[in-house]
Amino acid sequence: MDPHLLALLLFLLIATLYSSVGHAGASGYLAVMALLSFAPETIKPTSLVLNIAVAGIASWRYLRAGCFDRKVFWPLALVAIPMAFIGGTMQLPAQAFRIVAGVFLLASAGLMAWRAVQQTIEVQVRTMPWYSAAIIALPIGLLSGIIGVGGGIFLSPVLIAGRYAALRTVSGIAALFILLNSVAGLLGQWSAGTTLEPFLPLWLLAVVAGGLFGSYLGVSRLGSRAILATLVAVLVTAGLKMICA
């Protein structure tokens, strides 16, 4: 099969799965393009453009459904966004960061699985101190810009483990966080010089379709336990792809 067509089909699946938990799929897009041997200079910026499209849809869905908490979101976003821009301007060895990201994602999956076994999913939400938001958002924003992701896949496990928001609200927070972080990271990469894949318009159609369907499932069809199980699957899949890419 032509690699561009195979990428289109995989992007559709990735966008559907990730958007069902408020994510946009950048780690999956990165892994697919790396495995299919696309030009390295096009992988990260192309992934971020796809990410922005899906995150925009997911943000609209979750915010419209009331699955959002601005008191949790803005302290995180105000720190992460400028760091994502800085990270986007940085050109560092890709393989090292794929391994780091993969290990982090697998550890996050373990944390989510532990919480599913040890505790009920809907827990008493507690307030997140501003200094905790800064500590959380600074490395996530910087690493997101460097790798070329939106950061929600790092943020969601932290918010759930810290009990800073209800599960479905975490999905809404993550979606908008990914959207703004991805825009900042893309602008940073653009300022340093970047090239996009010529098949990007067709891929955009695929991820938009997946994002619409997946976010619909996440908002109205999947229960909390299904969302958590899906998130664990997403984290494991993304982590293995990052390490093996």
Q: For the chain, give every domain's residue range.
A: 3-244
- In this structure, the number of other CB atoms found within 10 A of the CB of residue 198 comes to 10
List the chain pLDDT tens, one digit each, 245 residues. 799 999 999 999 889 888 887 788 887 888 788 778 787 778 888 999 999 999 999 899 889 989 899 999 999 999 999 999 999 998 767 677 678 777 877 877 786 676 566 444 556 788 999 899 999 999 999 988 988 889 887 898 888 878 898 878 988 999 999 999 999 999 998 887 777 888 999 999 999 999 999 888 776 655 556 666 776 777 787 778 778 76
> In whole angstroms, what is the distance from residue 155 CA to residue 224 CA?
18
Q: Please give the model's pTM, rounded to 2 decimal places.
A: 0.84
